[in-house]
Amino acid sequence: MKGTLSAILLMAIGGVACALNPSLGRVDELDEQGKYEQARGILIVLLPQTASQSENAEVLWRLSRESLLLGDEQISIGSSNDTVMAAYRQGKRYADAAISANPKNPKGYFWKFCNMGKIALLEGAVNSLGILPELRSLLARTVELDPEDAVAFHTLGQLYAKVPGWPFSFGNIDQAVSLARKSAALLDAQIRAGTSKGIDYEPYIGLASNLHQRNWDATRRRERMREKRSKYLSATDVMERNFYFEGMVFIPNESDREEANRILEKTIAKMEFSSSPPTKLQTTELAEARTLLSGWFVGGSTASATTAEATRKARP
């Protein structure tokens, strides 16, 4: 479980516009460049200058983000657990303050999720699975407030893919695939509209990973489409509705693993031949995608009939 939550927490987030720009725009640029201490310094100066609770929340959730990333940096240089924990707990306090300042701002819930997950990893609380429902509720609130948040849907997809299923917890790889498709579809739309500040390839990598794990053949994929479409249209809750998002989109006539390989190969090619210098996040994502794809081929990327049959029996 420790590796599971650790992987889920490797997220990126985009900035949002507000009245404090361009100062907050500069903070987000510094964050993308990995200059977290500088970003934090500007935010500390801005905090007492906010003119409303809404502006206050914009500063506070960013302080939560920088606290988490600074905690991660402390791990990389070998700092003590106490030092790292202090950063994550400060990040959680900032997130709580952001939620209190503006309960309608989804970013406070998202960064509370991230900091709580990091704290749980250090404390070992994840082993009991007890914290997972609370983490899920934070992400559910995030997408309820912002149904266009591709990163939050990606994170939900990874959560549902990685945690144990019934009777131990709520994990469900089929629902994880739909959530990942929703994330990828949102990112596609943002890129087409020109509203994406920088391409985060993680939603595509997450979709490929979830498809590879689900491992359905083309026939089963087709057979479940009508049922999923019906459930999507009848659901009222944002998160529940998107458990069945796959029923609302075109699905290629191929197996999960064939599609997964194709998505990952295409994503790697886009990153390798991009005309823009890669960001720190994109460099990490490229390495992740290459490792994932090579692991599939080493382990046998095309499922045997026995494996496919076992998957069909294990999943509803």
The residue ranges of every structural domain in the chain are: 1-146, 148-316
Q: Which residues pair with 171 in a beta bridge?
A: 165
* CA-to-CA dists, residue 19 to 23, 38, 47, 242, 313, angstroms: 9, 21, 13, 32, 54
Closest C-alpha among 153, 73, 157, 66 to residue 111? 66
pLDDT tens for each residue of 83-125: 999 999 999 999 999 999 999 999 999 999 999 999 988 888 6
The pLDDT, as a whole number, for residue 124 is 80
Q: Is the pTM of this model over 0.85?
A: no
Phi, psi of 163 (to 5 degrees): -80, 155
pLDDT of the residue at 304: 30
Asked if 179 and 243 touch (Cβ cutoff 8 Å), the reply is yes
Choices 1.10.10.10, 3.40.50.300, 1.25.40.10, 1.10.443.10: CATH for 1-146: 1.25.40.10
What's the confidence (pLDDT) of residue 280? 74
Q: Which residue stretches of the chain have pLDDT < 50? A: 11-19, 300-316
Q: What local confidence, expressed as pLDDT, does residue 217 receive?
A: 97
In this structure, what token pair is assigned to residue 93? Answer: 């306090």
CA distance 15 to 17: 7
- Determine the pLDDT at residue 300: 45
Which residue reads 């998107």 in tokens?
Answer: 242
Q: What is the pLDDT of residue 315?
A: 34
DSSP code of residue 163: S
